[in-house]
Structure 1
Amino acid sequence: MRKESHITQRNFTGKVLLLITTLTLIPVLLFLVSKCGTKTESEIKDEELAKAPGLEESINQIPKPKSITIKKLEEKDIENLKPSTPEEGAAFKAKPGDILVETDKIRVIIQQPSREIGVSTYGGNIIDADIKREDGTFRDIVGEENWFWFLGHTLKPEKVGKWKENIIAATGKLDLLDYINANGLAETVFKSYIPNFELPFKVDEERPIKATKYFVFSDGNHVKIIDVACNEGKEEIPFFFFADIIDSGGDVEFFIPSSELKGYGYKSPLPTGLSVFKTDFIAFVSEKLDSSYGIFPETENNVSLIVSGVAAIAYGMLEGDGLNSLLAIARGTSSKFITLKPSECLKNEKYFIIGNGSASSLTDEFFRIKSRKENSEVYQVKGKVSISGLQVLPSKPHIAVFDKQNKLITTAGGDIYGNFKLVLPAGEYKFVAEIKEMPPSEPKLISVPSVQDVELQIGKPSKIIISAVEKKISGEEINIPAKVSFICQGECPKKICIKGCEILSTSFRDYVYDPLPDGVQEVVFLKDLKPEEIYISPGSYKIVVSRGMEYSRYETDVNIGPGEETRIKAYLHKVANADGWLSADTHVHAVNSPDSPVSLIDRVITFAGEGVDVIISTDHDWLTDYEPAIALLGLKDFLSSLVGQEITTFSYGHFNAYPLKLDKKAPSDGALDWAEKYDRYQKYGIKESEKEKFRFLRSLHPKEIFKNAHLMKPENFQRNIVQVNHPRSGGMGYFDYVLLDTLRLTTAIDPCIHRIFPPAGTCGGADKVGGDTGLFIPLQTLKDMANLERFDAIEVYNSYYEIPIVINDWFTFLNHGVHITGVGVSDTHQKIQVHPGIGRTFVWVGKGNDSPSKFREDIAVKNTFINNLADGKVFISNGIILEEFKLCGARGNAEECAEMGWSNMKNLTSNFKLKIRVKSADWVKFDTLKIFINTRETAARSKQPVKKWPTPSYATSITPIRQEIEIQGNRFGWMVFETEIPLTPPAEDFWVVAVVSCENSCEPNPMFPVVVDKKVKPILITNPIYIDQNGDGRFTPSPPTYAKESPQAPHYENHQAEGKAINSKSKGRKSDSNNEERKMLLEKIIKSLHIH
């Protein structure tokens, strides 16, 4: 009564107090609502979801988080998340509109429906994840994880949003995963081994499946993912199985204890080299970012195929071993296939676990999940790794934990003081510790839970303090980036064992993805421009300090014991300086490529240490800018960069485009989508009744790719470059994949196999459509330098071993009267094994313009660089520098000289003399000069690439002269050779290319360890000099002819400067043989899947 009376009186003071109290409490109430997960309106209705029997039970097994917030990100939110960057090795990619879910333990971002070319094309998947951190940073290393059903379909969500207070649902239909074309693989690679092979089902057809992906957030460091598939059709759907495809993400190492590697890495030590494993779980760890994540399936007997940083997991499909399982899936003979009946719904469950950078932080959570389900106990074990006399370890230790059967259970990570902890079930275990600088500790056996404290001891390393200093002629000393290689004198003190040992090295870290060269203990890149400390196992070493092909190298022998310290000041001099040229690598990968777990900072360090001037980013279908990393490291004087893309079609070739305009707001930061859907029916005049027939033919024709890429040039550039990559690398090579005949410039493959609309208007190979399926570029288009549908450059040197094959194709184009620039690239994905900057492209920009700083600051120099690259003012090298290359001859009564470059073509008619001058550092040898002039017998028939070196017009053995300089007591040497050769060229227009190499005096290889592959020998390849001999203003050499089956072997004589015509020889690369059909077949599959 009193309360009613009080209100009735409408006391003014009371109303004000009530209003103030209410206003004060509203923010608090809102905060509590958000933190406690009070029920709010669902964004997705029940009828929009696919539901399988047992779904609710599976969801209810997961304890809800203590607090949870769900919000759609705005631009300002993304910055406030404080995400780590690709410079550090992170993989953060959230955009406005994506969904952030934050509990008291983890933060996860789920992508809204989208479209980007990649492992997960349409969104509806986890793209970023990390534990909650005290400093508020978001150290994401997650790539992408989504479905891989029917060997090529994935979820295309119609809606992604909140369903229940702790559940996000992504629901929709299946659509084609453009990233992978299993049908193209089957029709090309499989059929090359099994002519009548057919996949057991059509990949490129619609399936009436309603599908939902549930993300159930827990009270721990994990999300339970439940995948549901419902057959909405009237017919049974055979050959179904649940499968995922995973882009590994940032600067990570794979961790798969059930693999033959027993831990880290995915390149199998088996003779087949296949990365096919039984998979209990698959994890990804980054010590650099203290971040990790993993997929832990509920199912048993899973099998994984891992290629180029991308993993495909087939849940429950293991039959026998991994190889048999994969082949049974491909052939349709697996007993594990599921037939999805009409109206039937099935589900698959797995745990997405997020950790702090160690594998054990993931298994800790999984053991807790299992113990809760099984009502069992788990125990925390802690320990310390020590080195006598050191309070701080040289690097963080890894502690491998094995069971009684020597099966790896997990690997823990310690801090720099050696402390570690992990969770284990009761049992008997063996602990072994390792740091990267030293051999492992002695094993220690313990019993859990009776022992929960472990002490491990590692030997004491040696310390070398080293700096690299460039000695100028003036005597000035400048600290420079460099590479330091430790060559073992005898056996290496720390042995790396990945097969046949009781404890494999890969139980501690990944020693297989980027292995050290044989006989090398360590390779370190100096970056700080001051003395740097390097810890290493005690022993005897030859230390080699280098900075790429233009510099001398420093060598010294050391014998250093445990705990000892020595100082080295390595003097280098630029002995083979390429004045007027900028060196570049036009094919480079890093962390934004699935198969290149290298942070942008590490990538910059490697290139600065190798002395490259310009690094061009060409990540797979992603645009990357190296300039922030260069600035962070203070290396602007040593390296500059351009933004580009490797346009990575799955089944008809890879193409680089550069420079491109980066757009952080666009999908893949602005990369070209080579399979983007648009209305082709109207464009190609397809009848309405025939639309369904061509439904999946949505990949761009190569000429469309070239045109679209050319149109993506930045506004301040006059043009850009489109480059054909590794054209003869089997499953990755454009020329191989379209079955190119380089004489006729025709293709034989059915365009529909590659999901390209057939230019002939009907699917079929060359025999069905009149001899040419139209997947190459017409001759007149290639000849038109301004045509956007042509390509501008070709990788003559990508793999050293494929140079002979590609150079035949290149010469064939030249004989068609087509100018295409030949370039040299590394296509590096690692830091050591695939050598950054080898091969290398040198582009003429003029003296005074040939520094990274000038390139960065002056757009005119950048344009000169790109224009001259397109024009062919370029040479290719892995160690030899070109100083002069010109062809002089009579023009009327005067002598004129022509140099490399299409625009430098001259009308000369007689008295031809070729002038060439080359040099190298004295650790680079060369002894052979070959001259090619209109070399005609180079054309390849479809399916028959020419593998032998073409026959040179002239060849001679040469003897360079050693020269040296002494600067304040330090001697630096280099090799020089120059000659003038009279030529008698053909009567028609002609081109001239020179090749300088080492063929007789390079055993053992003098470039090792600067170039890590001991089989790679020095080589220089010029671009053509063009002579318009008839003076008609056009370039019309005699057309090419098919190569002969077996070119004759050459005979070299020691003619110092005589242009003696000889025949050609190439040792070629030995082909592998394998007697077992399955191994041979799967080897080819794996090679085809690699996405270099």
Structure 2
Amino acid sequence: MKNVLPLSAFVLVLVAGTSSTGHAQVLTEANYDQLVPSGKEVDAIYGDYAIGNKSAKAVIAAPIATRNANMTVRSVGGCLLDLAVTEHESDQLSVFYPGRRKFPFAQISNKTGTVVVTSPGSDKRPKCEVTYRMNSNQPIMDITSTWTNTTNSDWTLALEDDIRADGGKEDMVKSPNGTHDLFYFHDIFWQQAYGVRADGFRIRTNSNSRESILTYQAEGGHAVIMKPGESFTLSRQMIVGKNQAEVMAIADELSGRPRCESVRLSIDDSSQTRVVGARMEIRSASGSRGTIVSDSTGFAETRLPPGEYTVKYIVDGVAVSEQPSLDLTVRANNSQTSLHNLPKLHRGQIAARITDGEGHPIPAKVEFKGNGDTPTPDWGPETAEHFVRNLAYTANGKFETALREGTYDVIVSHGPEHDAVFTKVVVEAGKTAELNASLKHSVQTPGWVSSDFHSHSSPSGDNTGSQKGRVLNLAAEHIEFAPCTEHNRVSTYEHHIADLGLKSFMATVSGMELTGSPLPLNHQNAFPMKYTPRTQDGGGPVTDGSPETQLERLALWDDRSEKLIQQNHPDMGWLFYDKDGDGTSDGGYSRSFPMMDVVEIHPIDHILKREQFDSRNGKAFNNNRMLNWLQLLNQGFRIYGVVNTDAHYNFHGSGWLRNWIQSSTDAPAKIDHKEMVHASEQGRLIMSNGPYLEATFAAGGKSCVSGQELTASDGKVEVRVRVQCPNWFDVDTVFLLVNGKVAEDFQFTRTDHADKFTDGVVKFDQTLNLTLKEDSHIVVVTGHQTEVLGDVMGPQGGAQHPAALTNPVFVDVDGNGFTPNKDTLEFPLPVKFKKP
């Protein structure tokens, strides 16, 4: 076997004049803000290496075996982690893995403008040295890999890299699978594009929504075979720009093609007003040059080679169908501005002012739907912030935006304690339509605050949603206490709350979700957790393959600090009864039981119809957590229930599930997270997807709320039940569960007990006198059997039936302490679910 070409033929020469004048420094507290680019996908920490010039900033992860960017972007040591152009810092790169993760880097060195990482060779694997150098004045990272065969045999070298850039919920374009001179990907909304090229090679690419594999094919298709002691060098450039057209322009120039010319485009609407945020898709006879977006001045700038182009315009997510494309000619040595007037593009303005019932500005969610022939806007992807698809989020009750002329159906809301406003707005070209909405705080909840214990955004690694957008979503839905619970890292919402002016509306605390294996069982949330910013995992613990060990690790973390530990969305049978998953009860993960404070038991509306399994499309897909939880209570497990959205994206993501927690203050700015922990640990918490359910229990001259104990020596318990709803949904059912079963004579419906229900804000307000014959736990339930929450909560949450339930109250009848009755509720105790 022999090399087809001499090794020297494969050594790629760097672009002339690239002696670097940039910087290369270890990141510290003193220089982090200066050297690290901005962007929602930034994962740099102290100890990583920054390298940059006037055109771009980049970060190389420290070559440590445990260096992970986030939960799913792992083993990044020695890799290109963050990269953004300084003209518009918006890092959208998760990681560039040189060598496709086959050479673990263990050493690093840096000089002025250069970072070198090394994977030591052995008798089983070649040595690999990667040099990162920033071009002196362009947004180009030169990446050079040199392999040396340290083995005793010939080594066939696979010339491969892979890139992680998640585009599943983004407006992201990637090179089509196939072979190219340039591989590119471009996030149009977040306006950052990347390209990879290598002189002397074509790049065969294979991409999915997350990963792209790049295979470098030498001209002629020759294999690279290194004999013992021989070396081989591959050089490639990674280009970053604001848009795909700019990346392609740089690549053209590096390849010796004609110089690209600066082009500045804009469009006017019928009122001769430049359109901000317009998308301009540029194509030539040879294919797409990408999409550029007009900035706050109404202009979009890029560079194009001389030639003929067509430009297609998209405004507010809707193609300008009256004029599908316009012609553009780019001439050599002639930078130009091209202004296109679209007389049929009729746009006006919306000016919104949203207040509570007393005239005070409040955060809000505003949904726009085109009426009749009017198109529905689509402002941005589900990862966005203030404008997400057809939603506008406001932190202070105000926003202004341009909209196509027409009539819009509008829903203005602020969670289920407030009435929603359903209205129409007519937008006329060149005019401003006012949207004034007063959201009455109709549902009163004194002494209880709303919370969601489980939310995610891009730092979690399994989604790309903006964390700032998550906070806006939470506040607009009137979540008053929201711990930050990103996957596998401690993080915080505090800076977003401060920047958005939301301190009077929402409290928070640092926390995390520790997500290990086996999945989906081994997920636990914990808060408060000590946040150590810009360190690996924010200072949090690592995962473990044992749910018991992982829970213990969380409990002991931060010097055994007090924290709420929540078991997330478990298979109850697997967790509590069937550890090895063989379908036979074996005691489950019993070592973890004492450390669990609360457990997620949603889907919440399944409490209205308790069946053995949850079903989708008529097929069982999981054990029914609600039923299983009631069975657990009967077996003596005293673990309280919670419901949370587990939101990952910002389109109606938060708000459709919540907990109301007993609190000594109704002012979010005064909420004490320790009080929230204690109240939750004690079950003083109501679960809901909308209805506000109040329940107090009295016996023997004492009263309490959910989660507590009562002694009723005569078996008589007085239960006061009160249900409130805003104007956009209703309840038609109230019932008591005693030891998990509907209590005879205590199931009420609007159809059969119309005298007990009303049509105002208060839907039900009754005192129920219950006589118990044995120790019993009591859960109060309300909901609607046929109607759903509807459009206010979006397509996912809106499809749920309104429902709410209390945590149990434990009533001791015989005076010997509470004794569970061991009833299994006519179903066998669960084991790990297996699909039929």
Q: TM-score range by the shorter chain?
A: 0.7 to 0.9
1:305 pairs with 2:123: no
Q: Measure how far apart 1:487 and its partner are.
A: 2.9
Aligned counterparts of 1:317 and 1:807: Cα–Cα separation in 2: 54
Equivalence for 1:900 = 706
Matching residue's letter, 2:208: L
8 A Cα contact 1:385 1:457, kept in partner: yes
8 A Cα contact 1:442 1:457, kept in partner: no
Aligned counterparts of 2:230 and 2:651: Cα–Cα separation in 1: 52
Aligned counterparts of 1:815 and 1:420: Cα–Cα separation in 2: 65
Equivalence for 2:610 = none
Aligned counterparts of 1:830 and 1:908: Cα–Cα separation in 2: 51
Aligned residues: 790
Equivalence for 2:611 = none
Residues 212/317 of structure 1: CA separation in 2 closer, same or farther (3 Å cut):
closer
Equivalence for 2:110 = 162
Matching residue's letter, 2:470: R
Q: 1:146 aligns with which of 97, 109, 115?
A: 97
Residues 542/724 of structure 1: CA separation in 2 closer, same or farther (3 Å cut):
same
Q: Measure how far apart 1:807 and its partner are.
A: 1.4
Residues 992/347 of structure 1: CA separation in 2 closer, same or farther (3 Å cut):
farther
Aligned counterparts of 1:600 and 1:511: Cα–Cα separation in 2: 14
Aligned counterparts of 2:197 and 2:435: Cα–Cα separation in 1: 48
Q: Measure how far apart 1:537 and its partner are.
A: 1.7
Q: Measure how far apart 1:360 and its partner are.
A: 2.6
Aligned counterparts of 1:213 and 1:521: Cα–Cα separation in 2: 42
Residues 60/711 of structure 1: CA separation in 2 closer, same or farther (3 Å cut):
same
Q: Measure how far apart 1:590 and its partner are.
A: 2.6
With normalisation by structure 1, the TM-score equals 0.64
The aligned runs of 1:95-114 (5 Å cut-off) are 95-114=45-64
1:435 pairs with 2:435: no
1:1040 pairs with 2:817: no
Equivalence for 1:527 = 395
Does the residue aligned with 2:252 lie in a helix, a strand or coil? helix
Residues 468/314 of structure 1: CA separation in 2 closer, same or farther (3 Å cut):
same
Q: Measure how far apart 1:215 and its partner are.
A: 1.9
Matching residue's letter, 1:112: A
Q: 1:479 aligns with which of 361, 383, 405?
A: 361
Q: Measure how far apart 1:386 and its partner are.
A: 2.0
Does the residue aligned with 1:315 lie in a helix, a strand or coil? strand
Residue deviations 1:722-777 (CA, integer Å, cap 9, x gap): 2222325xxxxxx6xxxx546734323xxxxxxxxxxxxxxxxx69xx986x9x52
Residue deviations 1:564-594 (CA, integer Å, cap 9, x gap): 3222321121111221111111111234233
Q: Measure how far apart 1:916 and its partner are.
A: 1.9
Aligned counterparts of 1:577 and 1:99: Cα–Cα separation in 2: 53
Q: 1:927 aligns with which of 725, 728, 732?
A: 732
Aligned counterparts of 1:510 and 1:985: Cα–Cα separation in 2: 56
Q: Measure how far apart 1:558 and its partner are.
A: 2.7
Equivalence for 1:244 = 162
1:609 pairs with 2:476: yes
With normalisation by structure 2, the TM-score equals 0.82
8 A Cα contact 2:99 2:161, kept in partner: yes
Matching residue's letter, 1:211: C
Q: Measure how far apart 1:159 and its partner are.
A: 0.9
Residue deviations 1:22-63 (CA, integer Å, cap 9, x gap): xxxxxxxxxxxxxxxxxxxxxxxxxxxxxx945972243565
Residues 919/215 of structure 1: CA separation in 2 closer, same or farther (3 Å cut):
same
Q: Measure how far apart 1:431 and its partner are.
A: 0.8
Equivalence for 1:264 = none
Aligned counterparts of 1:277 and 1:481: Cα–Cα separation in 2: 49
Equivalence for 2:173 = 255
Aligned counterparts of 2:366 and 2:179: Cα–Cα separation in 1: 36
Residues 528/216 of structure 1: CA separation in 2 closer, same or farther (3 Å cut):
same
Residue deviations 1:681-714 (CA, integer Å, cap 9, x gap): xxxxxxxxxxxxxxxxxx4421222122123359
8 A Cα contact 1:816 1:1039, kept in partner: yes
Aligned counterparts of 2:778 and 2:516: Cα–Cα separation in 1: 34
Q: Measure how far apart 1:280 and its partner are.
A: 6.6
8 A Cα contact 2:517 2:545, kept in partner: no
Residues 95/898 of structure 1: CA separation in 2 closer, same or farther (3 Å cut):
closer
Q: 2:589 aligns with which of 754, 777, 782?
A: 777
8 A Cα contact 2:383 2:465, kept in partner: no
Matching residue's letter, 1:854: K
Q: 1:217 aligns with which of 134, 137, 147?
A: 134
Residues 796/541 of structure 1: CA separation in 2 closer, same or farther (3 Å cut):
same
Does the residue aligned with 1:156 lie in a helix, a strand or coil? coil
8 A Cα contact 1:141 1:249, kept in partner: no
Aligned counterparts of 2:639 and 2:570: Cα–Cα separation in 1: 13
Q: Measure how far apart 1:595 and its partner are.
A: 4.2
1:409 pairs with 2:327: no
Equivalence for 1:916 = 721
Residues 791/285 of structure 1: CA separation in 2 closer, same or farther (3 Å cut):
same
Residue deviations 1:59-79 (CA, integer Å, cap 9, x gap): 435651462333334432224
Equivalence for 1:383 = 265
Residue deviations 1:852-900 (CA, integer Å, cap 9, x gap): 0111xxxxx32221011122111111110012243x45xxxx4544531
Aligned counterparts of 2:738 and 2:661: Cα–Cα separation in 1: 22
Aligned counterparts of 1:232 and 1:983: Cα–Cα separation in 2: 81
8 A Cα contact 1:212 1:228, kept in partner: yes
The aligned runs of 1:836-847 (5 Å cut-off) are 836-846=654-664
Q: Measure how far apart 1:122 and its partner are.
A: 5.1
Q: Measure how far apart 1:934 and its partner are.
A: 2.9
Where is the strand percentage greater, Structure 1 or Structure 2?
2
Residue deviations 1:117-172 (CA, integer Å, cap 9, x gap): 43133521223333346xxx9665544333685xxx56532211238x76422112
Residues 470/871 of structure 1: CA separation in 2 closer, same or farther (3 Å cut):
same
Larger deviation, residues 420-429 vs 250-259: 250-259
Aligned counterparts of 1:600 and 1:247: Cα–Cα separation in 2: 17
8 A Cα contact 1:930 1:952, kept in partner: no
Matching residue's letter, 1:547: H
Q: 2:633 aligns with which of 814, 839, 849?
A: 814
Residue deviations 1:808-864 (CA, integer Å, cap 9, x gap): 33223323311222112122222224x312211111114xx1220111xxxxx3222
Residue deviations 1:912-962 (CA, integer Å, cap 9, x gap): 4543221111211111234333339xxxxxxxxxxxxx9999644235745
Equivalence for 1:646 = 513
Equivalence for 1:826 = 645
Q: Measure how far apart 1:607 and its partner are.
A: 1.9
Residues 999/625 of structure 1: CA separation in 2 closer, same or farther (3 Å cut):
same
Q: 2:785 aligns with which of 984, 999, 1023?
A: 999
1:171 pairs with 2:118: yes
Does the residue aligned with 1:711 lie in a helix, a strand or coil? helix
Residue deviations 1:966-1012 (CA, integer Å, cap 9, x gap): xxxxxxx524213344556563x432223322113x2xx45313444
Residues 207/1036 of structure 1: CA separation in 2 closer, same or farther (3 Å cut):
farther
8 A Cα contact 1:584 1:837, kept in partner: no
Aligned counterparts of 1:232 and 1:642: Cα–Cα separation in 2: 51
The aligned runs of 1:1057-1076 (5 Å cut-off) are none
Aligned counterparts of 2:444 and 2:424: Cα–Cα separation in 1: 27
Which structure 2 segments of 5+ residues have no match? 1-5, 607-613, 615-621
Where is the helix percentage greater, Structure 1 or Structure 2?
1
Instruction: Tell me how large the CA RMSD over aligned residues is.
Output: 4.4
The aligned runs of 1:1011-1050 (5 Å cut-off) are 1011-1013=794-796, 1014-1033=798-817, 1035-1038=819-822, 1040=824, 1043=827
Aligned counterparts of 1:337 and 1:984: Cα–Cα separation in 2: 84
Which structure 1 segments of 5+ residues have no match? 1-51, 176-205, 260-275, 319-335, 497-508, 675-698, 729-734, 749-765, 785-789, 856-860, 937-949, 964-972, 1047-1070, 1074-1092
Aligned counterparts of 1:565 and 1:483: Cα–Cα separation in 2: 20
8 A Cα contact 2:260 2:304, kept in partner: yes
Aligned counterparts of 1:1020 and 1:223: Cα–Cα separation in 2: 55
Identity among equivalent pairs (%): 19
Aligned counterparts of 1:423 and 1:832: Cα–Cα separation in 2: 34
Equivalence for 1:744 = 577
Equivalence for 2:280 = 399
Q: Measure how far apart 1:286 and its partner are.
A: 7.2
Does the residue aligned with 2:482 lie in a helix, a strand or coil? strand
Residues 82/303 of structure 1: CA separation in 2 closer, same or farther (3 Å cut):
closer
Aligned counterparts of 1:663 and 1:582: Cα–Cα separation in 2: 28
Aligned counterparts of 1:347 and 1:952: Cα–Cα separation in 2: 80
Residue deviations 1:5-29 (CA, integer Å, cap 9, x gap): xxxxxxxxxxxxxxxxxxxxxxxxx
Equivalence for 2:597 = 792
